[in-house]
Structure 1
């Protein structure tokens, strides 16, 4: 008879992110490591930093031993639900479409980066005019 596995959502698992109630997810499985935090050789802050997200990369990068992996399995409380998020569709744009948008892109870019230099030049001309006008009056 197969063992029933509890399914958790990512939101459910991420809510357990304190030193008193700490869950981590690795390779689609959910682990309650609250009781192990004080014993972890790397310190509890390493595990607490991995809560609320998929910690698979951090776990693999640490180079855990076979014994550590077996110990981890004793803390398994379930698996993550598959969200079934659809794969985003890529929009194919031809080179001709890109070239048609080039003047608009240039105009947007020039608007964004030319305000400061134009302002500085305008202020310089205005102040120079006032300075020369005041100098001639003396």
Structure 2
């Protein structure tokens, strides 16, 4: 009989992000590594920083050994529910709204032109004084 695996959402896994209760998601599986935090060779902060996101890439980049991969199976508590991944809501912007936002950008650019001009001007003066002394 196959072992039934519990499904967790990324939001559920992200809620477990403390030293006492730490879950990480790697390769579609959810691991409760709370008991392993003190023993992790990279330190507990590495595992704590992996909560709330898919940490597969970080795990693979670290070059974990075969024995580390076997050890992590001991901490597996379920799988990530891929069907519950939030699809970002598209924001519909009218042409008028787009034009208004581009006008705001132009206005901000006009208001803050002084800083780059001052930096360039100061650079020219310093360069001129430097080469004049030579």
**TM-score band, normalised by the shorter chain?**
0.5 to 0.7
TM-score, with length taken from structure 2: 0.67
Residue 110 of structure 1 and its aligned partner are, at CA, apart by 3.6
Residue matched to 1:4: 4
Residue matched to 1:20: 20
TM-score, with length taken from structure 1: 0.66
Greater Rg, structure 1 or structure 2?
A: 1
Residue 87 of structure 1 and its aligned partner are, at CA, apart by 8.8
Once superposed, what is the RMSD of the aligned Cα atoms?
A: 2.8
Within a 5 Å distance, the mapping from 1:1-138 to structure 2 comes to 1-82=1-82, 83=84, 109-116=105-112
Mark the runs of 5 or more structure 1 residues left unpaired by the alignment.
90-100, 119-138
Equivalenced residue count is 107
Quickly say closer, same or farther: Cα 1:113–1:70, change in 2 above 3 A. Answer: same
C-alpha distance in 2, partners of 1:78/1:44?
Answer: 21
C-alpha distance in 2, partners of 1:117/1:87?
Answer: 36
C-alpha distance in 1, partners of 2:34/2:10?
Answer: 18
C-alpha distance in 2, partners of 1:59/1:117?
Answer: 45
Residue matched to 2:124: none
Any runs of at least 4 consecutive aligned residues in structure 1 with deviations exceeding 4 A, and if so which?
84-89
C-alpha distance in 2, partners of 1:58/1:112?
Answer: 39
